[in-house]
Chains A and B, each alone.
Chain A
Amino acid sequence: MSAREDILNRIASALRDSPATPEIPRNYRRATTMTAEQRLEQLVDRLRDYKANVFVVPAAGAPAKLAELLAGTASIVVPHRLPEDWLSTLLSVGKDDAGSPAVEVDSPERRLTVAELDAVDAVVTAAAVAVSETGTIMLDGSPSQGRRIISLVPDRHICLLRTADIVEVLPEAIARLDATSPQTWISGPSATSDIELERVEGVHGPRTLDVVILT
């Protein structure tokens, strides 16, 4: 008998008393009771609590804010479908101008290697959805967010988020996401509580997380 059959048989035998399958009481909150402004305020508060840098700017101001954040940065990587207007200022300036970073684009045609990603200073991505109650940003690998590796290896992650994509509670975010897409949920920069159970930021993941929320 294969291990699979063996184990399934053991389980069936263990359950020979036919335990009842209970109804699931879903009486917890599954929808928001907050206004968009309250959700925004809550998300900013929770992200800052976990030592992320948060900037709230009008949507049209995205390129200017990016340029400001990236001043002095030598190189960045972006996913191939990052909305163009977000990067237009940077791209138009070009690589050789002092003060603006070289922009590497990771695409299905040209996937950056680990070594290349390790050499860039920052990554700029969009986000699929954010949960204000927990201060969580979710990436689902769509073309505006890119492969998981690009938001992992560079030491700084700049994430752009639209207010329309902010929900209050986790169930709302789960309803928006496709389970089978490769996901990364991010709540603040990388951290550890392994030393005397005190949280300290900055271990293996990006040590700086900048969240730019576009209103």
Chain B
Amino acid sequence: MEYALFYAEGADALPYDPAQDDVGEWVDDVEARGVSEYGERLRPEQDATTVRVRGGEVLVVDGPFTESKESIGGFDVIDARDLDEAIEVASKHPVASFGRVEIRPFVRWPDAAPGSRIVPPGFADRAVEGRRYLMLVVVEPGGERAAADGRPVEDDGPEAWVREMDGRGVRLFGEVLRGPADATFVRRRHGEVLVTDGGFAEAKEWIAGFDLIEVRGGLAEAIEVASKHPMARGGAIELRPMWPFDVHEDHVARAGREAAERGVRREPAASEVLAEVAR
């Protein structure tokens, strides 16, 4: 069964200790088991760009859709035997020891081809041919399927968007996630694995799915792609650039080198991009 793992600090995060961040071992373990499909680290939250469409107007802000503690720092798609194996895999990830790992099952469509996977076979070896963004599709309270710009609700399905973006070669893969009631949180504290249910509050926004996109036109094209997604009208789309690294590099040295990049936005300011597009 396939799951998305999302890594975040969470409300009870401990201080980050690079010495504990042995992610290379984790990657080796999940690859050896054949559990891993694909995963990537995301650039820090200041490089997030959130896109909404309200009343036909594209609204873009720098930053994630939610407050920082819950902002996602990376993701993996895994194919585990069942939730217990997903919990075990999640609990061994370095983030579990200071932050938390969220396990989200995907929606399994009854008409899906047998044996089909979320991540296309061989994807990890595919050359990067543009700039990649993770597009988080966010449901906002009261905003779900609201068709805020007055379009009829039947336009809200993502099928047309998927066809268009697949045709343009922009969309690499993506899928709808089961709702927060089916989420499971995993943390590791004092050597103990703590498993809790999603604890979903109706009033909170939540991630309903994601797509990985690859664009040649930079953030401007990514915003254009995101704004066409039907959920941009009722909810929000968060665009997150990747932050690849060599998992077998010395992690203490890496953390030291990367510290300077945290807190500084490398992406262009969304307002400038919009102004450029307008010209």
Question: Do A and B interact?
Answer: no
Q: Contact residues of A with B, CB < 8 Å? A: none
